[in-house]
Structure formats: C-alpha cells, structure tokens
Amino acid sequence: MRLNRVAVLGGGPGGLYAARLLKLAQPECEVVVHEQGVPDETFGFGVGLAARTQRRLAEADPASLDDILAASWSHDMRMRVGGREAGMSVASLVAVGRAELLRVLQRHAESAGVKLEFGVRRSADELDADLVIAADGVGSATRSGAGAETGSGTAGDFGAEVETGSGWYLWAGVDVALPHALFAPEPTEHGVFVTHAYPYAPDRSTFLVETDEATWRSAGFDRTTASLSPDESDQVALDHLSDVFADHLGGHRLIGNRTRWLRFRTVRCARWHAGRVVLLGDAAHTAHYSVGSGTKLAMEDAIALVSSLQEADDVEQALTAYEEARRPAVERIQHIAERSRRWWETFPQRLDLPVEQLLVAYMSRAGNVPLERFAAGTPGVVTSALQQWAGEEPPAEVAEGGGSLVEWALERALRASAPGQEPDPAAADGPVGAWGFDARIVADDPEALGATVLDLGTDARPSGSERAVEDAVRRGSAVIDTVWLTGGDDRSSVLTRLEVAERLRRCTPALVVVAGPHDLREDFADGLVADRTHLVALR
C-alpha cells in the first residue's frame, strides 16, 4: 500500500523508530514527527534492552541498533538483603540513557528523510495525513479523545481501561556507574523502601525506588507530592532516599529529572485503531517497569506496524493486521508484568527469606522463568536456595537444573519448623502443631487434613485480576488451621493460587495447600522452592 503523508504524534523511541522504518520502506512518503517537547530536554534516565529485543531491532534496522549499542552499558545483577547478596549474570541485557537513545533515533530518522517538528502540541484532527500514528505515551491525549475526529468515530474510541497500582515509585538517578544492577530493600522507621538500580553510562545509573502506601504516607511523601508543580523534582524525597540508600550509593546523592512519586498505570485498549488513527506503544498498552518492557514493546510495535502497512491493500486492512499480529505478544507481556507488579508491591513481606531463596522467588515470580532453566545458568544460587528450603544439600545434577529438580523438590519432606517462618509445633494444637509429612505432595483430600477449602475458580484475566487475588487473600487470612486452595486446571489459575498462597503464608499461621493438575508439576515445584506454599495436592 502506498501512503502519501504520515504524521506521528510523539517523539519517543516508538514514534521515532516507526517514522524511520516507514520512511525507509516508502521513501516517497512524507513522514513528519510532531513532538511537543524540545530536543535535549527529555526526562528519564536509563532504558534497558534485552537480548531478544536486540535481535529484532537488528533484523529491522541494523544501522540504528549499532549506534544504540555503541552508547549502551552492560551489567550483571545483584540482590542484597541484610548484608548478604546473591547474583546472576545478565550480560545480554544492556542499558542506554534515554536522552542518548532519543538522539540516536532522531539522527537516524532525519538521515532517512523524516521531518522532526518540536515544541508544538498537535492533535489528530488538525493533521492532513493518510495515517496518524499516535505514540503519545501513557497519558495519550489521542487515546482519551481530546475531541479529535478520525473520519470514522473519535480518536478516543479505543475502549481504554486504565488500572492504577497500589504501590508508589520514583525514578531517580545517580552520577556514577554502579558496579552491578542492584535490587535492595532498606527497612526504615517508616517502613521498607526497595531500589531497582542499574548503570547505563560511565557516569550514570538509574535508581528507581518503590514502597507501599503506608510507608509513603508515614514518611510524609503524600505532602511533598501534593506541593510539586509539574516540572519540579521532589528534592525532599531525593534527600531522604539518599540517606536511606547511603550504603549502596558510595557517597553519591540521588539526582532528579522531573522526579516525583507515581503509581503505575496499566493501560489496556479493546481497539488500537479508529479510522486513520492508530495507537502505538504506551498509548495502546503499558507493562510494569519491573519487566523492563515499555521501550521494547513500542519499538516492536513499530516493526509490526510498518510490516503490515507494506503488505496490506488499504489502511483499515493494515491496521487490523497490525493489531492481530501484535496483540498476543503484548498481552503475554502484560500478564507477566501484572504478576510481577503485584509481587513487587508486596515485596517487604518476603524479607524473612535468605537472599538466595529470595532471588529464586524473584526469578519465578511471574511464571516466566522455570526453576530448572534458572538453575542451569546460576547453579550456585539455586544450590543454596534449595538447601535453605529443604534443609539438605541437593545432588549436583539437581542444583544444575537437571531434569530431576522438579521430582527432587516434590519429594522433600515438609519441615515442621523453619526459623522465622512456621510456628513451633509444640506451641500449637491441631493440624498446625502436627506438621510432618513424608513428601511435599499430599493426597487430593482436603477432608483428611480438616482443611478449609477456598475455590478460586477460573479467573477471566490470565494474570489473575486484582480483585480476585485480594478477595482470596481476605477470605484465606481468617483461616488458622489449614487452608486448601483449588480452582481451574489451567496454568493461569494455578499461578494465581500460588500467588494467593504466598500472601497467605505471611498473614496467617495456617498450613497452606495448593491443589492442581499433575501436568503442572514444574510450576508447583517452583512455588514450593520459592516458599509460596507449604504443600501441593496433585490431581
């Protein structure tokens, strides 16, 4: 399909990349990027690009990727808790400064013949173009409507749903390259703050901090947030957090760039296009930053959109094909990100775990990284985690991710007491005080344990809806002897039950059992080792 004029709303990575790819594919097409900001005044710090994304960018446009990688910084990862740390190699993951990434993409867009317009706010209805690509971010005015007519409905006719998380986060930076990517919680008088930090340049690192609502309010950040103007950074929070994380900052202080406390917004749209307007990147969908997917999804959207435009006969056919091609991959990432978000928002509840076991829990938090695969690349950490969990050292072939890991985990006996976790059997009556099983698998018979059965059913949302998870935790927290979680046999429902079980383990003295199908033994083994449940019942 031949296009005469294309307008791109938003000069972020997704918009710039789409503009370049489209101009390369159709040199005679006039492509203009409209960005309301001005060059070199972007906000943000580092952006991560995983190996799979790098491969896709290499296939689509090797020249721009070469320049991105030349400006990037690779690192490994450490989790540090209570003076102990555990690490893993993630050499294939690189980070690049957002400002540098935009400079590279701006340069490559212009070299392809794209016109860049800065400093003026545009809307879809005022643009004379065959196609309007709305890459205007999570707060997209195009998606919300803003009165923009598309020729067949309004630009806001996308069936948007925006869900706001319960936790608070703040993007900051530090003027030094940290030696590793770092995950570290810091308890304070107000509660626990957690950092995700990583280097992205020789003299810069991203330093993201998050916390729960109660801690945020106790520290007074509700007041500092309310007093800020849109272009200010919360210097009070930056100063406070510089002191909280002083042991990790090596004498450096946190720096801001429109840095303020936010709550994450998950955007989902029933439709990604209306008339001649199509949404791209965060305007159409968001995925929690803990899976590092915002820039990745936007740039991969651009690849798919330009491919569909090349192959289709008209705009409607192209935009329909684009959405059909991209939606499954995007929804998969969103489901993973949703579980990851909830895990991080309840992270402080897990600080009783040894750091190696906590790293295993982190890697398996969303059901995306099987324990056996993690063990194959990080056997030392997994060996320690298995020993901490089972009270015995696993055979070498198990710790290295051999096929016997799952069976070994399922066959370990449940210890009646673990320091800081289960209660002393002598101090309780009934099932809680009588813990002692020959294996982690119990018969599919809740009556034999005198258990309270909670049937979570099958959630309509594969990642498990917020309401369903919180309701199950509320119901289960009233049980003090044995709680038996059952429901659908699909994998998503089982992962949701394991998530609920993990929350219940930390808010009730009950013995927690998760029931599910035999063919999901890997997920159950992962859940056991990550301390999500005491027992499993396979059917």
For the stretch 74-85, pLDDT in tens is: 988 999 998 899
- Whole-prediction pTM: 0.90
- pLDDT above 60 (res 423): no
Contact 440, 528 (CB under 8 A): yes
What pLDDT does residue 442 have? Answer: 86
Of 515 and 466, the structure prediction assigns the larger pLDDT to: 515
Q: What percent of the chain has pLDDT over 70?
A: 93
List the structure tokens of 166: 């319960």
What pLDDT does residue 102 have? Answer: 96
- For the residues 191-216, what does the mean pLDDT come to? 96
Q: For the chain, what is the radius of gyration of the CA atoms? A: 25
Q: In which band, very low, low, confident or very high, does the pLDDT at 465 lie, cut at 50, 70 and 90?
A: confident
Give the SS3 label for residue 503.
helix
Residue 307, number of CB atoms within 10 A of its CB: 17
Q: How far apart are CA 96 and CA 199, in angstroms?
A: 9
Of 440 and 273, the structure prediction assigns the larger pLDDT to: 273
- pLDDT above 80 (res 456): yes
Identify any residues that bridge with 522 across adjacent strands, giving them in sequence order.
Answer: none
What pLDDT does residue 77 have? Answer: 92
| Amino acid, single-letter form, for residue 463 | S
Q: Which fold has domain 168-255?
A: D-Amino Acid Oxidase; Chain A, domain 2 (3.30.9)
- pLDDT above 60 (res 152): no
Q: In which band, very low, low, confident or very high, does the pLDDT at 415 lie, cut at 50, 70 and 90?
A: low
Give the SS3 label for residue 255.
strand
| Amino acid, single-letter form, for residue 306 | V
Instruction: Please state the domain extents for the chain.
Output: 5-74+90-164+264-340, 168-255, 391-538
Task: Indicate the pairing of strand 482-486 with strand 452-455.
Answer: parallel
Q: How far apart are CA 319 and CA 275, in angstroms?
A: 9
What pLDDT does residue 91 have? Answer: 66
Q: In which band, very low, low, confident or very high, does the pLDDT at 216 lie, cut at 50, 70 and 90?
A: very high
Helix (H) or strand (E) holding 514: strand 511-516
φ/ψ of residue 195, rounded to 5: -110, 145
What pLDDT does residue 401 have? Answer: 74
What pLDDT does residue 460 have? Answer: 80
What pLDDT does residue 475 have? Answer: 96
- For the residues 198-223, what does the mean pLDDT come to? 96
Contact 234, 225 (CB under 8 A): yes
Q: How far apart are CA 139 and CA 133, in angstroms?
A: 15
Q: How far apart are CA 271 and CA 274, in angstroms?
A: 8
- pLDDT above 70 (res 424): no
- For the residues 529-537, what does the mean pLDDT come to? 94
Least trusted range by pLDDT, from 205-209, 216-220, 439-443 = 439-443
Q: Give 298's Cβ-side CA count (13 Å radius).
A: 26
What pLDDT does residue 58 have? Answer: 96
Q: How far apart are CA 515 and CA 513, in angstroms?
A: 7
Q: What percent of the chain has pLDDT over 90?
A: 77
Q: How far apart are CA 536 and CA 443, in angstroms?
A: 9
Average pLDDT, rounded, for the chain: 90
Identify any residues that bridge with 483 across adjacent strands, giving them in sequence order.
Answer: 452, 512
pLDDT tens profile 96-105: 999 999 999 9
Contact 79, 194 (CB under 8 A): no
Q: How far apart are CA 115 and CA 473, in angstroms?
A: 53
What is the CA 520 to chain-centroid distance, rounded? 23
What is the CA 58 to chain-centroid distance, rounded? 24
What is the CA 52 to chain-centroid distance, rounded? 16
Q: Does this chain's domain 5-74+90-164+264-340 share its CATH topology with 168-255?
A: no
* Alpha carbon distance, N-terminus to C-terminus of the chain: 54
Of 354 and 376, the structure prediction assigns the larger pLDDT to: 354
pLDDT tens profile 252-263: 999 999 999 999
Contact 423, 394 (CB under 8 A): no
Give the SS3 label for residue 117.
strand
User: Domain 5-74+90-164+264-340, CATH 3.50.50.60 — does that match?
Assistant: yes
- pLDDT above 50 (res 236): yes
What pLDDT does residue 376 have? Answer: 87
What pLDDT does residue 93 have? Answer: 83
Question: Which phi-psi region, left, alpha or beta, contains residue 77 (left: φ > 0; alpha: ψ -120 to 50)?
Answer: beta
> Using alpha carbons only, what angle is made at residue 131 by residues 129 and 133, rounded to the nearest 5 degrees?
115
- pLDDT above 70 (res 428): no
Q: How far apart are CA 453 and CA 447, in angstroms?
A: 9
Q: How far apart are CA 246 and CA 264, in angstroms?
A: 26
